[in-house]
Structures are given as structure tokens and as C-alpha cells.
Structure 1
Amino acid sequence: MIDLQTPISDDDLDRLDVGDKITISGTIYTGRDAALPQLVELINEKEVPFDLNGSVIMHTAFSDAGIAPTTSSKVEIESTITPLSESGVKIHIGKGMLNDDTLKALNENNSIFVITPPVAALLTSKVLEKKCVLFENEGMEAMFELKVDRIPGIVAIKDGKRI
């Protein structure tokens, strides 16, 4: 198991290979269908209220029932992976198969896609603190900042290769 601490650096990613088991600690951001396209709009307007460089985004909603990854290949989510990677996001956490154009964009921007077991209770137990940071009107699909301890995952796409 390789332990990573946010923010994630290029050196952190250089030591990973497809299939590696990792844990992520520190600050991660959540977002899915409702929030991620709005975040890309804020990037385009240069109005993101936090630094995306070295960040981690998990494709999920957040509620008191917990967190679990949503399907990353949904158009509303997958279409955001390229601009988010170009803006400094290093790790995208989700589930599902991504298309070849997304794989190429991840490679070109030295970003990776990580899958994590869809076990809400396990993932929720790793959340130490939560705070809504954007799009509060979207309810559980708003964007949250989470303080986490050892979120588990598996590197699914890196250097143009996939599991």
C-alpha cells in the first residue's frame, strides 16, 4: 500500500503504476453531475475559491448517509476530467470505464484515475471533517471539502495505460 498526502505532486505520481493500491490522506474535494460542470465554469472565469494544484476530486455526492463513488463515465462528469486535469487536479476518484480521449488527456496532464471500492461505510469512516465549499443549493450534490484519513483506492489509469 502506497500512502499519499495531499497536495499530490508529480513526484508522487511518478512512483505509481497501474494496479498499485494507494491511500490518500489530507484534503479532497467532492463533486458529481451537478457540481463538476459548474466548477469548470468557475475555472474558465478564473473564480475558483481554492487552489486546484495537486488536488484530488472524488466523483461522489456527500450526505449524512455517507460517500461512495458514482459512475465517472457519465457525460456530465467525464467531460470535466480534461479541464480539471489541465487546472491541476492530479487524482480523480470514481468508478467505471473512461473513454480513450479521457485516458489521453489524463496522460498529457500527468493526472490519474483511481477506483475505490463502492463501500459507503468504509469510505465514510475515513472522513474526519466536512465543509460545503461551493454550490450549497445543490444539496448533497454540492461541492464539499473533506479532511480524510487513508481513503483506499487502486490506480486504474496512468501513463496512457488502464487496468
Structure 2
Amino acid sequence: MKKITTPVSEEEILSLDVGDQISISGIMYTGRDAALPQLVELIIQDKLNFNIEGSAIMHTAVSNAGIAPTTSNKEEIESTIPFLSKNGVKIHIGKGMLHEETIKSLKENNSIFVITPPVAALLTSKVIEKECILFENEGMEAFYRLKVDNIPGIVAVSNGKSI
């Protein structure tokens, strides 16, 4: 298992291949249908007050029941992946198949897509701290900053290849 700590470097991303088992520690952001399109708008308007360079975003909601990835190929989520990759997000974490255009954009922007076991209890046990930092009005679909320790995953898209 390869250990990754965020923020992740360009070189680390280039060293990963489809099928690699990884463990992610450090700061991870969360967002899904409600939050990610709003995040894109903040970046476009140059109103984002934190740096997402080298970051990881999990496509999930956060609640007291835990975290678990949602389907990443929903239009509201997948449509944000190319833009967020171009603007510094290196690891997108979720589940499901991505479209060929998204896979190409991940390659062009040296970013990867990682799938995690959809086991809320396992993933939640890896969260050390959580803080809502944007879109609090969206409830559990708000945008969170998590401090995590060893979130497991498998690289599903890297260097233009997909599982």
C-alpha cells in the first residue's frame, strides 16, 4: 500500500498507476451535488479563501452517521472534475465509472480518481477532525475540511487509463 499525504505533489501523482492501493492522510475536502458546483463558482469569481493545490476531494456528505462516497458520475459532480483538476485538485475520491472526456481531463491535469470501499463505518473511523467551511446551509451536503488518517482507496483512473 502506498501512503499519500496531502497536499500531494505532481511527482507523486505521476508515480501512481491504475490498481495501486493507496492510503491518504492529511487534509481532505468533501463535496457532492450541492457543494461542488458552488465551489467551482467561487474559484471562477476568485473568492476561494484557501488553497486547493495538491488537495483531495471526496464525493460525500458529512453527517453524524459518517461518511461514504457517492456516485461520482452524477452530472453535478462529474462536470466539476475537469475544472477542479485544472485548478489544483489532484485526487478525486468517489465511486462509479467516469466518462471518457473526464478521464482525458484527469490525464491532462495530472490528477487521479480513487475509489474507496463504500463502508461508512470504516471511513468514518479514519476522520480525526471535521469542520464545515463552506455552504453550511446545504446541511450534510455542505463543504467540509476533514483531517484524516489512512483513508484506503484504489486508483481507478491514472495517466489516461481506467479500471
Q: TM-score, normalised by structure 1?
A: 0.99
Matched to 2:59, the amino acid is: H
CA distance in 2, matches of 1:103, 1:14: 15
| Structure 1 residue 61: Cα displacement | 0.3
Matched to 2:154, the amino acid is: I
Matched to 1:36, the amino acid is: L
CA distance in 1, matches of 2:143, 2:72: 16
Alignment map for 1:47-126 (pairs within 5 Å): 47-126=47-126
Contact (CA 8 Å) 2:56, 2:90: kept in 1 or not? yes
- Per-residue CA deviations over 1:45-86 (Å, capped at 9, x if unaligned) read 011121010000000000000000000000000000010001
Match of 2:16? Answer: 16
Matched to 2:92, the amino acid is: H
Match of 1:32? Answer: 32
| Structure 1 residue 43: Cα displacement | 0.7
| Structure 1 residue 117: Cα displacement | 0.3
CA distance in 2, matches of 1:147, 1:65: 17
Matched to 1:105, the amino acid is: S
| Structure 1 residue 14: Cα displacement | 1.9
- Per-residue CA deviations over 1:86-125 (Å, capped at 9, x if unaligned) read 1000000000000000000000000000000000000000
| Structure 1 residue 155: Cα displacement | 0.2
Aligned-residue Cα RMSD (Å) equals: 0.4
| Structure 1 residue 15: Cα displacement | 1.7
CA distance in 2, matches of 1:125, 1:68: 11
Match of 2:136? Answer: 136
For structure 1, the 5+ residue unaligned runs are none
Match of 1:146? Answer: 146
Q: How many residues align?
A: 163
Aligned structure 1 segments of 4 or more residues deviating by more than 6 angstroms? none
CA distance in 2, matches of 1:54, 1:62: 22
Query: Greater shift after overlay, 26-35 or 6-15?
Result: 6-15
**SS of equivalent residue, structure 2 residue 77:** helix
Contact (CA 8 Å) 2:14, 2:159: kept in 1 or not? no
**SS of equivalent residue, structure 2 residue 132:** strand
Match of 2:41? Answer: 41
User: Percent identical across equivalent pairs?
Assistant: 69
CA distance in 2, matches of 1:14, 1:91: 12
Q: TM-score, normalised by structure 2?
A: 0.99
